[in-house]
Each structure stands twice: as structure tokens, then as C-alpha cells.
Amino acid sequence: MAEKIVIGLFQTAGIAEDACNRLKHEGVPAADIARVVMRETTERPPQMDSEIEALSVDPLLLGNVRESYAPVIHNGDTAVFVRAGTEADIELAANTLRQYSPTRINVATRRELDAAIAAAEAPPATICEIEVIVY
């Protein structure tokens, strides 16, 4: 089975963090969990450019994170990404995320995720700050 990514979208970073902690408690390796927090700001400090650029080499969040994930995450929302290699892993991740009332849960292969992002409408022209937490 191709590796899949379980994606849960939460309205607050705190709830998403609780879900991540629960995933780790349930035995999901920390390296298979990432949180992406999105919020609008007035301007991004120049020192953030190198941090955003460094995210492009992360094995879980491939590609340009700011441009790739901004269309699917709204102001204040937090996405949790869980790498899952088997059907049991997918079920565990999805059921654990459901305990925290996400606004949505999706399961996708990397290719499906890239296609969905490419098809998404671009967000309004605002400056956004992304905080990625990889456990």
C-alpha cells in the first residue's frame, strides 16, 4: 500500500496540539506527525524567510509549504498531518483526530494531496505567517 497522509483541520492550535499529544500517546512515532498553524499578520519578519525556505526540505511536508498549504488553511486554523503506512495506521490516526472534533479529516496519498492543492483557489492577497511544528 502506498503511504498515505491523514490530515485533520482544527479551528485552534491548542486543540490540534492536544490531538498530536494523543497520537503520540497512542504510539504514533513523533517523526510521523506535523502541525501547521496559519494566521494572518501585517508583515512577515525578514528573518522568517530562511525558516520558511528550510521547510522545503522537511520529509513530511515536501515542497514550498507557504504556497502549497496556504490555500487550504484559513486564518487561525491548524492542520495536523500524520504519515500512515497501513490501513490500521490510517484508522488509528483518523479515529484519534476525530476525538478532538476537527472541522474536517482527509486521507490522501502525496500525489492526491499535491493535485488538490494545485486545484485549490489561491487565498486573498494577504501576508500570512506559517508555524510548522514537527515532533
Q: Where are the domains of the chain?
A: 4-134
Q: Report which of 134, 127, 102, 119 is spatially closest to residue 7, judged by C-alpha positions.
A: 102
Question: Of 98, 105, 91, whose CA–CA distance to 9 is shortest?
Answer: 105
Which residue, chain included where needed, has cell 503520540? 24
Please report the pLDDT score of residue 110 as a whole number: 81
CATH of domain 4-134: 3.30.70
Q: Is the pLDDT assigned to residue 2 strictly greater than 70?
A: yes
State residue 87's pLDDT score.
94
Which DSSP letter does residue 20 get? H
* 107 pLDDT above the threshold of 70: yes
pLDDT-based confidence at residue 124 (cuts at 50, 70, 90): very low
- 30 pLDDT above the threshold of 80: yes
Q: What pLDDT band is residue 17 in, cutting at 50, 70 and 90?
A: very high
d(CA 71, CA 118): 9
Q: Return the pLDDT at 125.
A: 41
In this prediction, residues 47-59 reach a mean pLDDT of: 58
